[in-house]
Structure 1
Amino acid sequence: MRRPTERVLVNLALYDGVDDALQPDRGVWIGADGLIRAVGPVDDVLTEAGDVPVVDLDGEHVMPGLTNMHVHLSLGLPGHLADTVHRSNLAELVLLMADSARRTLHAGVTTARLVGESRYADFALRRGIEAGAVDGPRIFTAGHALCCTGGHGWEADALEADGADGFRRATREQIRAGADLIKVCISGGIAGQFEAIDTPQLHDDEMAAVIQVAHDWGRKVTAHAGPADSVRRAVELGLDCVEHGYELTDEVTRLMAARDVWYVPTIVVSRCEQFFRDSGVPGWLMERALAAGPRHWESLQHAIRNGVPIALGSDMPPHAGYDETSATVRELEFMVDAGMTVADALKAATVRPAQWLGQADTLGTVAAGRHADLLVLRDDPTRSVSALRTLHTVIKGGVVYRDDHCRLREPR
């Protein structure tokens, strides 16, 4: 089991997740408990830390670890990915997910929100990560996604239900298993062969049943959703977050902003042709995904323009290669290309997800008392989110999990 090492990082330029401007000549004191003890001007931090070992970062850039809010560690798109998942027994599935979790962490994602996994393996994996037996990000999970009979995701182990009572029971089953949130599929999507993106799949009483039970138990609800009308109905019923939103309108995004309903656009999934080819997905899926791209892009622009709170989520494996970077970083670049400021995009990957998850006092920023989840980059992220392409060091909870320059190598 890896344990945090107390140290002070000095000679660094800091993006702390709060101040949009870069803070030069900063120091960060990481405690032996994996929490940040102090942040500030180097001399002040060194004085406070005393004889704690010091690591000089040579003027490089430090920022909070990323949070990816749309992750499937047991991703089973039609094709060989689904075949691998479905052929696996439970032990094999957990190992496959553990490998994806390790790669996700190495890609700079220190927190992941899982929005639909298989056979409750995510809970076993979370326990392994928390115990230090497995390297991976902090996990907040929905357990199984919920869908109607034959609805979106049923082939990927979404839990099928029908009627308000059926969805109440399915929601309670995820909470019983330990779900931190609930994910419900309210329309068709890209990966369902016998549906269209704009196919409505839940009645109002079914959506209301999920939302009411989840809220009664202190859980938020996020919805896989494509068409604007399905989103509108769910928002009016009290939905907390929209995934994908392939066909949002100006009117619906205004409603989302007014109701403080969040949006996780996953814009990469409608423009990742090479990933689909490499994954061996059937032609109909790739054609549907790429055809959705222009309208999906408009949806994101509507949301940005109307002030919808937006959080980063890739849907693709966070670590998957994309245009010589990861899907997570490419998603951020697309968000900026669509009109989001660099400052807002960085917050969408750090402090804002922490707020949605109810973890703003522990995650998402570099501040005293927060978990020491830190990334070290060569370039300045406040100038361009593409600086994340120069990531070379990943720290989670004061433990170094990636250290390309061997400055912070951990004893085992």
Structure 2
Amino acid sequence: MVNRLLVDLSVVDVVSGDIRPNSAVAIVDGVIAAVGARDSVETQWGDLPAVSLGGAYLSPGLVNMHTHFSLSLPGPGGDAVSAMTAHELALYMADGARRTLLEGVTTVRCVAEKDHADFALRDAIAAGRTIGPRIFTAGRALVCTGGHGFEGTDTLECDGPVGFRHGVRSQLKAGADLIKVMISGGIAGEHEAIATPQLAADELEAVLETAHAWGKKVTAHAGPAPIILQAVELGLDCVEHGYQLTPEVAAAMAAQGTALVPTLVVTRASAFFDQLGVPAWMQQRSLGAGPQHVESYRMALDAGVTILMGSDMPPFWRFEGTSASVREIEHMSDFGLGPAAALKAATIDPAAWLGADAEVGSIEVGKRADLIAMDSDPLADSAALRGIRWVMIEGDLVRDDKNAVLDV
């Protein structure tokens, strides 16, 4: 961890939606010690080693709220991941975490990982034994017997209120930061439809009541409006995907404060599926869901639902000329959110959902120096994020395309 004075930059203020030109940022012990006009910051912190960013736009690091480092979709690509030994899987996930960080994602929320390897990865990153983003994880997602994703070791089959209470407690015992539950079918389930209901009301109530009693939030894989409405009325904290919303359900989500992670990229990801050898039935279901998925997303925007960025695809995956994370932000912007609000939905808003906004999500004094830099204004055009060339996490410089000297 190296103390620095960053100069020759414009600060991207994701809270106000403003750009602050001619700024400087002082970083001490991995924390932002000062941010403001260059002359003012240099007066107090001029003894720190100065690093020029060459006129770049400095933004908080991205936060991806729907991550699977051990993703294994149907097809040969997914089968290869499922067949990995425990040691192979740990190294595979660690490499994915490293690549994610280098793409500018400095915090992730894992929402179903195999064999609890995510806890070891989270702890190894925190201890500095490997590099990667800050991890918040749900451990294994909870499913009914035969439910969505039951085939893998990234889910835990439960039945009945008692079974689901035990499922929640087992993940909390392992160290989960939140709980993930599958309450409907989805794109990747061959013997189900997106609209297939999978939990009874008393089972879902047991999940929410138990997690909330322990101070943990719950997010749900969910597609259809009636199932989402029932969950929202019971106190669900977040919806993943939301393929088939209605205006009424979107309004209920906004009133309850239930956030939406739309994962728009997953219903327009044919090239990604081709790379993995995903079967035709899944590709057809994915692409077929795309138009209604966008309509549902726009309903959520109109209702004022809090939108959070999550890719579902591995965050680092190179896709359509950029990373999956940036492509998701572009979709969020293009389909109605706009670039400034899309960046906010990929920084401070997810940090707030995670309860981490006092530490990350914006460039403010006292927060961790999780920062990215690019040469164009991301508040004017989300495509600017394709030009990320500099990445720092907690004051450690892990990527600098113009200088080979890094901290790790």
TM-score, length of structure 2 as denominator length: 0.98
Which residue in 1 is equivalent to 2:349? 352
- Displacement of 1:411 after TM fit? 4.9
Partner deviation per Cα, 1:354-386 (whole Å, 9 max, x = no partner): 100001110101011100000010111111111
- Match among 128, 151, 155 for residue 155 of structure 1: 151
Does the 8 A contact of 2:376 with 2:384 survive in 1?
A: yes
- Displacement of 1:322 after TM fit? 1.6
Which residue in 1 is equivalent to 2:139? 143
Partner deviation per Cα, 1:267-316 (whole Å, 9 max, x = no partner): 00000000000111111111111111011111101011110000000000
1:109-120 to 2 correspondences below 5 Å: 109-120=105-116
Which residue in 2 is equivalent to 1:133? 129
Does residue 1:200 correspond to 2:188, yes or no?
no
Does the 8 A contact of 1:263 with 1:311 survive in 2?
A: yes
- Displacement of 1:321 after TM fit? 1.5
Find the residue that maps to 1:172 and give its secondary structure.
helix
Task: Tell me how large the CA RMSD over aligned residues is.
Answer: 1.0
Partners of 1:406 and 1:11 lie apart in 2 by 15
Does the 8 A contact of 2:222 with 2:239 survive in 1?
A: yes
Partners of 1:59 and 1:311 lie apart in 2 by 29
- Match among 228, 239, 244 for residue 241 of structure 2: 244
Does residue 1:102 correspond to 2:98, yes or no?
yes
Does residue 1:28 correspond to 2:25, yes or no?
yes
Partners of 1:23 and 1:401 lie apart in 2 by 24
Structure 1 residue ranges, 4+ long, deviating more than 6 angstroms after superposition? none
Find the residue that maps to 1:394 and give its secondary structure.
strand
Counterpart AA for 2:285: R
Counterpart AA for 2:279: P
Does the 8 A contact of 2:5 with 2:46 survive in 1?
A: no
- Match among 42, 64, 68 for residue 64 of structure 2: 68
Does the 8 A contact of 1:82 with 1:156 survive in 2?
A: no
Does the 8 A contact of 2:396 with 2:407 survive in 1?
A: no
Counterpart AA for 2:131: D
- Displacement of 1:341 after TM fit? 2.3
Does residue 1:398 correspond to 2:399, yes or no?
no
- Displacement of 1:133 after TM fit? 1.1
Partners of 1:214 and 1:110 lie apart in 2 by 26
Does the 8 A contact of 1:77 with 1:156 survive in 2?
A: no
Which consecutive residues of structure 2, in runs of 5 or more, have no partner in the other structure?
none
Does residue 1:331 correspond to 2:323, yes or no?
no
Partners of 2:357 and 2:52 lie apart in 1 by 28
Counterpart AA for 1:146: L
Which residue in 2 is equivalent to 1:77? 73
Does residue 1:87 correspond to 2:83, yes or no?
yes
1:162-241 to 2 correspondences below 5 Å: 162-241=159-238
Which residue in 2 is equivalent to 1:7? 4
Partners of 2:263 and 2:291 lie apart in 1 by 13
Which piece of structure 1 moves more, 131-140 or 48-57? 48-57
Partners of 1:327 and 1:66 lie apart in 2 by 12
Find the residue that maps to 1:155 and give its secondary structure.
coil
Partners of 1:91 and 1:347 lie apart in 2 by 37
- Match among 364, 376, 379 for residue 376 of structure 2: 379
- Displacement of 1:400 after TM fit? 0.9
Which consecutive residues of structure 1, in runs of 5 or more, have no partner in the other structure?
none
Partners of 2:84 and 2:121 lie apart in 1 by 15
Partner deviation per Cα, 1:220-277 (whole Å, 9 max, x = no partner): 0000001000000000001000000110111100000011100000000000000000
Does the 8 A contact of 1:342 with 1:383 survive in 2?
A: yes
- Match among 304, 308, 315 for residue 305 of structure 2: 308
Which residue in 2 is equivalent to 1:58? 54
| 1:22–1:357 Cα change, 3 Å | same
- Displacement of 1:85 after TM fit? 2.2
Does the 8 A contact of 2:267 with 2:293 survive in 1?
A: yes
Counterpart AA for 1:117: E
Find the residue that maps to 1:140 and give its secondary structure.
strand
Counterpart AA for 2:121: L
Partners of 1:298 and 1:141 lie apart in 2 by 29
Matched residues, percent identical? 53
Find the residue that maps to 2:232 and give its secondary structure.
helix
